[in-house]
Amino acid sequence: MADKDRFSADVAFAKVLDAEDVLGPYRESFHIPSGPNGLACAYFAGNSLGLQPKRVLERVNQELYDWATLGVDGHFRGEIPWFSYHEVFRETGARLVGAKPGEVVLMNSLSVNLHLMMVSFYRPTRERYKIVIEDPCFPSDIYAVKTQLAHHGYEAGDALVIVSPRAGEHTLREADLEELLEREGDSVALVLLGGVNFVTGQLLDMQRIAVACRAKGCMVGFDLAHAAGNVPLSLHDWDVDFACWCNYKYLNSGPGAVAGCFVHERHGANSDLPRFGGWWGNDPATRFKMQLIPEFSPRAGAEGWQISNPPILALAPVKVSYDLFDEVGMDKLRAKSLELTGYLEFLVDEIGSDGVEIITPRDPAARGCQLSLKIKGGAQALAKKMQGDGVVCDVREPDVVRVAPVPLYNSFCDVWRFAESLRRHVGGE
Ligand SMILES: *Cc1c(COP(=O)(O)O)cnc(C)c1O
């Protein structure tokens, strides 16, 4: 059914959708910041910093308590022993991104993990040395790629290939990437793209891209900062070489949270792959033999890329969040997400302002929950006015407002509030 027939702009309709929403009660599991009038704001910045699950306090307190009462014994006798803390994510982490247990590890932060993955999976040769990225590319990713190229002695002008949207378009076409690989794939060592683009909200067909890369013998990695916890993923079956994501956006694990990393099992099993080692990536059987066994012997799987022992206080919120995602499941989240974002799109179209253009793909299969609105006359000023109405969304300069209705805690009434505020400040027909 067309959205026009499915939805109504009446607030009573939003209330009906909320009443019917099976995930509605999960909103209560989160702290929602207040707007200027002291009431809960309509929070659409979960793509930047997700909200805090209420149970985080208890989990962090438990780690503090274990530390206070057990000291070093907390490594083995804590409620969740710190020695093997990262292993509690084996199953939930794998289910979240469509991996096999052992293909996912939580460690470091996203940009650090991109570097560690490039150490292993960007192995340039004389013939094959280029890296393909997309435009617009997140600054940290482009800095990571450029400094990796320089580290290996390459000039970005020669070795960095950027795929861009066609003139007059906002988003990439997979066919253009395929054509590029057809043309110069033999010189490409690595393709590194955002699974969901941070500016446009476009969800790429990662499976199709992985097939094209494989056909040309290129490694393929994805930055899933805006995809993990937002859209269903099948990283193992898609045969992706590696992927990295942060846990503070859709995954609600707190500012600077420990990040996630996927390494396909066919690489995880290869202990000869070059990598930067540290004791936590070593086989746990010999990890504490310390100076007695000075040879690094990486454990199999993604865990073999760990370097240091993990920051337990920073992992505790991730545990709470991953348990929550596992309980709900990405299928249910995606089902509600399609409704929420479809409703948002419907309401924005209803306003019909020619100062507002949706640049996110119209096809629900080609986007996650975020809609990006190109605003005539300045996005910053608009976002500020909306903030005054208790509506929180963020801006990507110069002219894009990003709106992310997230299915775990946003309601249909939140979306209605957004549209009402937008209507007031941009006017309509
Ligand atoms: C949020 C984000 C990052 C952030 O990197 P950190 O290392 O976590 O600071 C990097 N890349 C993309 C695409 C992002 O969206």
Which atom of ligand 1 sits closest to the CA of residue 259? 8
Give the position of tokens 């996630």.
260
DSSP state of 50: P
Asked whether 223 lines ligand 1 (CB < 6 A), one says yes
For ligand 1, atom 2, name the residue with the nearest CA: 225
Structure tokens at 193: 């793209």
CA of 111 to the centre of ligand 1 (A): 6
| Dihedral sign of CA atoms 114, 117, 118, 119 in order | positive
Alpha helices (runs of H) in 280-411, residue ranges in sequence order: 284-287, 312-328, 330-351, 379-388
Residue (of 50, 45, 53) closest to 390 by Cα position = 45
Asked whether 248 lines ligand 1 (CB < 6 A), one says no
Residue (of 191, 256, 204, 208) closest to 230 by Cα position = 204
3-state secondary structure (DSSP) of residue 45: strand
CA separation for the pair 106, 70 (Å, rounded): 24
* Beta-carbon contacts of residue 9 (< 8 Å; ≥ 6 apart): 346, 347, 350, 419
Asked whether 116 lines ligand 1 (CB < 6 A), one says no
| Dihedral sign of CA atoms 403, 404, 409, 412 in order | positive
CA of 138 to the centre of ligand 1 (A): 7
Structural domains of the chain, with CATH: 11-54+329-426 (3.90.1150.10), 80-327 (3.40.640.10)
Which atom of ligand 1 sits closest to the CA of residue 113? 7
pTM beyond 0.75: yes
One-character DSSP codes across 256-312: TPPPEEEE-HHHHT-TTS-----GGGB-HHHHTTGGG--S--BPSSGGGG--SPP-H
Are residues 309 and 379 in contact, defined by beta-carbon separation less than 8 angstroms? no
Spell out the per-residue pLDDT of the chain, length 429, in tens.
667 788 999 999 999 999 999 999 999 999 999 999 999 999 999 999 999 999 999 999 999 999 999 999 999 999 999 999 999 999 999 999 999 999 999 999 999 999 999 999 999 999 999 999 999 999 999 999 999 999 999 999 999 999 999 999 999 999 999 999 999 999 999 999 999 999 999 999 999 999 999 999 999 999 999 999 999 999 999 999 999 999 999 999 999 999 999 999 999 999 999 999 999 999 888 766 766 777 899 999 999 999 999 999 999 999 999 999 999 999 999 999 999 999 999 999 999 999 999 999 999 999 999 999 999 988 999 999 999 999 999 998 889 999 999 999 999 999 999 999 999 999 754
Asked whether 48 lines ligand 1 (CB < 6 A), one says no
